[in-house]
Amino acid sequence: GDSVTQMEGPVTLSEEAFLTINCTYTATGYPSLFWYVQYPGEGLQLLLKATKADDKGSNKGFEATYRKETTSFHLEKGSVQVSDSAVYFCALSLKAAGNKLTFGGGTRVLVKP
């Protein structure tokens, strides 16, 4: 079945450090890929998405590139802030599956001042 694997956390960084969260996927079709962020006590917010190979999603300084050859969608940010502390989820959806989301287990990121 379809699945998403992302690096386990927690990831602890200092402010202005570079952040990478690895994400790989397995899918029977050609999925759309997403990164969602969950701040403490809140629901999920869409951070960025990509719908086809080599697309780059970007938002709020975060970027991720859809790599079909490596089935990956790694999240990066060049300079993190304390406000980026959250749990990040990689997810995929398939149009043929009604666009239901399949999530990875989440990566907790803690940015210290």
Partner 1 sequence: DAGVTQSPTHLIKTRGQQVTLRCSPKSGHDTVSWYQQALGQGPQFIFQYYEEEERQRGNFPDRFSGHQFPNYSSELNVNALLLGDSALYLCASSLEAGTAGANVLTFGAGSRLTVL
Provide the binding-site residues for partner 1, judged by CB under 8 A: 4, 32, 36, 42-46, 49, 51, 89, 91, 93, 95, 97-106
Shortest Å, Cβ 15 to partner 1: 25
Closer by beta carbon to partner 1, 49 or else 74 = 49
Closer by beta carbon to partner 1, 63 or else 103 = 103
Shortest Å, Cβ 20 to partner 1: 19
Would you tell me how many other CB atoms lie within 10 Å of the CB of residue 40?
A: 7
Cα Rg of the chain (Å, integer): 14
Closer by beta carbon to partner 1, 17 or else 65 = 65
Shortest Å, Cβ 74 to partner 1: 17
3-state secondary structure of 71: coil
Distance CA 112, CA 69 (A): 35
Q: With beta carbons less than 8 A apart as the criterion, state whether 6 and 22 touch.
A: yes
3-state secondary structure of 45: strand
